[in-house]
Chains A and B, each alone.
Chain A
Amino acid sequence: MSSDSKRKPRIGVFKFASCDGCQLSLLDAEDELLAVAGAVEIAYFPEASRAMSKGPYDIGLVEGSITTHQDAQRIQQVRRQCKTLITIGACATAGGVQALRNWKDVDEFIRIVYATPQFISTLKLSTPIAEHVPVDFELRGCPINKHQLLELIAATLAGRKPNVPSYCVCIECKRKANVCIAVAHGVPCLGPVTQAGCGALCPSYDRGCYGCYGPMESPNTSSMTSQLRILGQADSQVARAFRNFNAWAWQFRKASEECERT
């Protein structure tokens, strides 16, 4: 224990099915990267280093969803090696955009993309990490916010609760004194049901939120659906709005499926 207290905490970064953008957020923290690298040992991070040290790790950052048999096994090994396991981004926390396959015949998808379908081995569903192993914290976003990631790492190392709010994007819009684009201009916006974290980016750029941070803590999706209908959206459009980067998050999934049934 005494020798342990002197050593730097070890961090591992693990990738599953994803675009690499969330782990890139760490390298995009240009002002903080060298300070982070001084405070911790980045022991496993193939995107950044060819030195790959074996576990165990104090913190495991997991990006990506589970879409193959091998990855379903690999996440078990990763979990065993990580004291604290944090999933980062919509793929890891909700199955990602690749979960759009979950409503389709995956064999047909394979035929569309690949000329020789028998070479492709993939699961029928793209699923979040928490459906496979216990997860200590889920950081939302497609992509995640690098400042939230740094806060989360700092909080985990200090043993305190991270300051990552679970309220909706509307709060961030109010803070920025944005005029509500849904109310003032009739633009369909998922802000009321989407978790904050992006800084209300889309409404600040004159477009509706498209839900890339996934559902807030307890979203009223049926009220959202009614509101979108009032703004003239057809049920097929509402279903598509819920069905993108966090489509498999259960609250959005339920909302899109309800629109399809009506």
Chain B
Amino acid sequence: MTGHTTKTIRVDTLARVEGEGSLYIKVVGERVADVKLKVYEPPRFFEAFLRGRHFSEAPDITARICGICPIAYQMSAVHALERALGIQISPAVRLLRRLFYCGEWIESHTLHVYMLHAPDFLGYPDAIAMAKDHRALVEKALRLKKVGNRIVQLLGGREIHPISAAVGGFYKVPTKQQLRGLVDDLQWALEASLETVRWTAGLEFPNFEQDYEFVALRHGQEYPFNEGRLVSNRGLDIDTAEYEDHFAELHVKYSNALHSVIRGRGSYLVGPLARFNLNFDKLPETARQVAIDVGMRPPVRNIFRSIVVRAVELVFACAEALRGIREYEPPTAPRVEIDNRVGVGQAITEAPRGILYHRYALDENGMILTAKIVPPTSQNQKRIEDDLREFAAQLVAWPVEEATWKCEQAIRSYDPCISCATHFLKLSVDREEIKV
């Protein structure tokens, strides 16, 4: 209308992310006029139908929020409920839960690094097409992913929606001998992960540094999984029970999505980059050293480099799993017996994609009165849009098709899990074509 050219970047179905979302960016002249990361994944109402269920059912029910990170849901659920019920788990169960999480991180990070994200860097639509030219690479990825899944299978019975995690412990715990059976695979996986760090570090990254507020758990002795205080690089340092005092979900005008924000500050970033930057000193020596060798020291502020950080976390998860297996002594009982009681409990654990918050209130019969769940992707949602607004501005001169792919790559850097986020995002029903 004013002589400016208007360009639109549209992706109707975002690929290689978990769940259903679409992207819309409008560029007028040199200016990014609008960015919408829309989610049309239908809502499934988990928080509503958890009401009236017994607390012991929550780990199985909430696992169904996400097929890629069910263990994260089980871990946040059991820890929040244990807090509500005032029970302590045994050191052996604590160790097994870390090991369980290692399995999920290895499986999920490998899937993302090689099969969902790497094709963007190498210019393929998917890992299968990539395998035609890089067969050894994809075979290595599948083998590495399988090592993670073997841990999950042993501790949980199956890879997706495992059945052994319980409030108070596990239904059944493995023997030392069973765990030792994983050692050879894990030693191979550790080497493969170190190779993965070196390989990903050699990829080409757009020049895109942002001033993020990183939010992650931090624990005194270890790289975080299930415990710690919630901290940020801008001074946040709280008990996980105070989460809702410091974070809010806002409805912003230009989007149908609920955006998590830090009260008074705005968007923030959770996930591998945040954990790495805030917990670098807690990484095991092997992981820290390989990061330094490839020139990765905190703060890493380029979201595209998340792929390298995920690889560093793969090294951590393999090393941590090996440590856990070495130190494991089976508990006297697989789980603590629990009496019903009134209580409220919150927990945050580190899902592969970032912090996952659960809160439950229980009545005297152990029935759930209310549940609240805030998954990592809804927390990153606003940050993804903020990034795209900045990033699209760099791409105004690019052909639309290439710019579109680059924007998709930026979104995939977050490893978004849209099925998870849906329970908290506004459903977009507006699928109308937007005219250029």
Contact = CB atoms under 8 A, between A and B. Distances in A.
Interface of A: 15-25, 27-28, 30-31, 33-34, 37, 42, 45-52, 67-68, 70-71, 96-98, 100-101, 104, 106, 108-110, 112-116, 119-122, 126, 142-143, 198, 201-202, 204-207, 210, 212, 240, 244-245
B331 interface: no
Contacts of B172: 205-207
Interface string B1-31: 0000000000001111111100000000000
Given A33-B142, A34-B142, A116-B426, A244 B60 contact: yes
B65 interface: yes
A31 B19 CA distance: 25
Interface string B401-436: 000010010000000000100011011010100000
Interface string B100-132: 000000000001000110010000011111010
A21 B15 contact: no
B149 interface: yes
B326 interface: no
B128 A19 contact: no
Interface string B236-277: 000000000000010100001010000000000000000000
A172 to B, nearest CB: 13
Contact of A205 (B14, B163, B256): B163
A37 B132 CA distance: 10
Contacts of B41: 17
B161 A212 contact: yes
A139 to B, nearest CB: 14
Contact of B138 (A34, A68, A245): A34
Contact of B48 (A22, A27, A49, A109): A109
B66 interface: yes
A241 to B, nearest CB: 10
B353 interface: no
A16 B249 CA distance: 26
B129 A31 contact: no
Given A24-B68, A31-B146, A205 B157 contact: yes
B43 A112 contact: no
A113 B423 contact: yes
A19 B429 contact: no
Between A27, A101, A114, the greatest number of chain B beta carbons within 10 A of the residue's beta carbon is seen for A114
Interface in B137-195: 138-139, 142-143, 145-146, 149, 157-161, 163-164, 166, 171-172
B54 interface: yes
Contacts of B143: 30
B42 A71 contact: yes
A21 B48 contact: no
Given A17-B42, A101-B45, A116-B251, 18 more contacts: A15-B20, A18-B419, A20-B66, A23-B67, A24-B67, A30-B145, A37-B128, A48-B126, A48-B128, A50-B125, A97-B46, A97-B64, A110-B43, A115-B249, A143-B158, A206-B171, A207-B171, A207-B172
B49 A20 contact: no
B323 interface: no
A59 B111 CA distance: 25
A58 to B, nearest CB: 17
Contacts of B125: 49-51
Interface string B64-95: 11111010000000000000000000000000
A204 B15 CA distance: 37
Across chains A and B, which 6 residue pairs bring their CB atoms closest together, nearest first?
A21-B67, A49-B126, A51-B125, A50-B15, A109-B48, A100-B49
Nearest to B18: A20
B43 A115 contact: no
A18 B67 CA distance: 9
Nearest to A208: B171
Contacts of B146: 30-31
A99 B257 CA distance: 24
Contacts of B163: 201-202, 205, 207, 210
Nearest to B161: A143
B297 interface: no
Contacts of A17: 41-42, 44
A109 B45 contact: yes
Between B64, B249, B251, B334, the greatest number of chain A beta carbons within 10 A of the residue's beta carbon is seen for B64
B51 interface: yes
B47 interface: yes
B111 A27 contact: yes
9 contacts: A15-B20, A20-B67, A46-B13, A46-B14, A47-B16, A49-B126, A122-B427, A205-B172, A245-B64
A248 to B, nearest CB: 13
Between A19, A31, A70, the greatest number of chain B beta carbons within 10 A of the residue's beta carbon is seen for A19
A97 B45 CA distance: 10
Given A21-B67, A205-B171, A109 B149 contact: no
B57 interface: yes
A119 B53 CA distance: 27
Nearest to A36: B128
Given A48-B126, A120-B43, A244-B60, A20 B427 contact: no
B61 interface: yes
A21 B256 CA distance: 26
B18 A113 contact: no
Contacts of B16: 46-50
A38 to B, nearest CB: 9
